Amino acid sequence: MGLDLVIKNGTVVDGTGAAPRRADVGILGGRIAEVGDRIDGGTRVIDAEGALVTPGFVDLHTHYDGQVSWDWQLSPSSLHGVTTCVMGNCGVGFAPVRESDHERLIALMEGVEDIPGSVLSEGIRWGWESFAQYMDVVDKEPHAIDFAMQVPHDALRVFVMGERAVTGRAATEEDVDAMRGLLAQALRAGAIGFSTGRSDNHKDRSGADTPAAEADLRELTGLGRAFEGLGHGVVQAVSDFDMERNPARFDVEFDILEGLARAAQRPMSISLMQRDVDSEQWRNIIRRAEKANASGCEIRLQVGARGIGVLLGLEATFHPFIGFPSYKAIAHLGLAERVAAMRDPAFKARLLSEKSEKLAGDGSNIPPLADKFLEHLDFIAMRIFRLGESPNYEPTREDSLFAEAMRTGRPALEILYDALLEDHGRQLLYFPIHNYTQMSLDCVEEMLRHPLSLPGLSDGGAHVGTICDASFPTFMLTHWTRDRKKGRFAIEDVVKRLANDTARYAGLRDRGAVIAGLKADLNVIDVSALRLLRPALVRDLPSGGKRLLQRARGYRATIVSGQVMLENDELTGARPGHLVRAS
Contact 532, 76 (CB under 8 A): no
Q: What SS3 class is residue 162?
A: helix
Kind and range of the H or E run holding 54: strand 52-55
**How far does Cα 385 stand from its chain's mean position?**
22
Q: List the beta strands (DSSP E) in 382-532.
A: 385-386, 429-434, 453-455, 522-525, 531-532
DSSP one-letter code for 81? T
Q: How far apart are the C-alpha atoms of 309 and 437, rounded to whole Å?
A: 12
Question: 0.75 exceeded by the pTM?
Answer: yes
Q: Check whether residue 372 and residue 258 sit in a common domain.
A: no
Kind and range of the H or E run holding 47: strand 42-47
DSSP one-letter code for 129? S
Q: Is residue 5 in some structural domain?
A: no
Q: Check whether residue 361 and residue 500 sit in a common domain.
A: no
Q: Check whether residue 361 and residue 453 sit in a common domain.
A: no
- The enclosing domain of 143 has a CATH number of 3.20.20.140
Q: Is residue 225 in some structural domain?
A: yes
Q: How far apart are the C-alpha atoms of 158 and 107, rounded to whole Å?
A: 13
Q: Is residue 364 in some structural domain?
A: yes
Instruction: Divide the 583 residues of the chain into consecutive groups of 10 and give the mean pLDDT of each group.
Output: 93 98 98 96 96 98 98 98 98 98 95 92 97 98 98 98 91 98 98 95 84 96 97 96 82 97 98 93 97 98 95 92 94 97 98 84 50 64 90 96 94 94 96 94 98 97 94 98 97 98 98 98 98 95 95 98 98 98 92
Q: Which amino acid is at 485?
A: K
Q: Check whether residue 481 and residue 567 sit in a common domain.
A: yes
Query: What region does 134 belong to: left with phi over 0, alpha with psi -120 to 50, or beta?
Result: alpha
Q: Which long-range contacts (CB under 8 A, 24 or more apart) does 540-546 make?
A: 541/116, 541/119, 541/123, 541/464, 542/70, 542/118, 542/119, 542/122, 542/123, 543/116, 543/118, 543/119, 543/121, 543/122, 543/123, 545/116, 545/118, 545/119, 545/464, 546/315, 546/464, 546/465
Q: Check whether residue 229 and residue 364 sit in a common domain.
A: no
Q: Check whether residue 315 and residue 300 sit in a common domain.
A: no
Q: Check whether residue 255 and residue 317 sit in a common domain.
A: no
Q: Is residue 464 in some structural domain?
A: yes
**Residue 495 neighbours by CB under 8 Å, 6+ apart:** 13, 14, 15, 52, 54, 55, 477
Residue ranges making up the domain that contains 364: 310-434
For 87, 135, 152, 169, 171, the CA distances from 223, given in Å and listed in that order, are 19, 20, 11, 17, 11
For the packed helices 250-264 and 281-294, what is the interaxial angle rounded to 10 degrees? 30
Contact 151, 183 (CB under 8 A): yes
- Which one of 390, 405, 434 terminates a domain? 434
Q: Is the peptide bond before 345 cis (omega within 30 degrees of 0)?
A: no
pLDDT at position 499, please? 98
Q: Check whether residue 173 and residue 287 sit in a common domain.
A: yes
Q: Which amino acid is at 32?
A: I
Q: How far apart are the C-alpha atoms of 184 and 223, rounded to whole Å?
A: 9
DSSP notation for 182-240: HHHHHHHTT--EEEEEE-TT-B-TTSPBPTTTT--HHHHHHHHGGGTT-S--EEEEEE-
Contact 564, 572 (CB under 8 A): yes
Q: Is residue 127 in some structural domain?
A: yes
- Which one of 434, 463, 480 terminates a domain? 434
425-445 per-residue burial string, b: 16 or more CB within 10 A, e: under 16: bbbbbbbbbbbbbebbbebbe
CA atoms within 13 A on the CB side of 567: 9
Secondary structure tally for the chain: helices H, strands E: 20, 24
Contact 462, 63 (CB under 8 A): yes
Please work out, in degrees rounded to the nearest 5, the angle formed at the alpha carbon of residue 257 by the alpha carbons of 254 and 260.
150
Q: Check whether residue 561 and residue 444 sit in a common domain.
A: yes
Contact 523, 56 (CB under 8 A): yes
141-180 per-residue burial string, b: 16 or more CB within 10 A, e: under 16: eebbbbbbbbbbbbbbbbbbbeebbbeeeebeeebbebbb
Q: Is residue 395 in some structural domain?
A: yes
Q: Check whether residue 363 and residue 509 sit in a common domain.
A: no
Q: Are strands 555-560 and 522-525 parallel, antiparallel or unpaired?
A: antiparallel
Count of domains for the chain: 2
DSSP notation for 303-362: E-SS-EEEEE-TTSS--TTTTSHHHHTTTTS-HHHHHHHHTSHHHHHHHHTS-PPP--ST
pLDDT at position 365, please? 47
Contact 492, 20 (CB under 8 A): yes
Query: What region does 361 belong to: left with phi over 0, alpha with psi -120 to 50, or beta?
Result: left
- Which one of 396, 419, 434 terminates a domain? 434
Q: How far apart are the C-alpha atoms of 540 and 545, rounded to whole Å?
A: 7
Contact 139, 149 (CB under 8 A): no
Q: Which amino acid is at 430?
A: Y
Q: Is residue 11 in some structural domain?
A: no
Q: Check whether residue 66 and residue 159 sit in a common domain.
A: yes
Q: Is residue 21 in some structural domain?
A: no
Neighbours of 27 (CB within 10 A): 26
Q: Check whether residue 494 and residue 397 sit in a common domain.
A: no
Q: Is the peptide bond before 76 cis (omega within 30 degrees of 0)?
A: yes
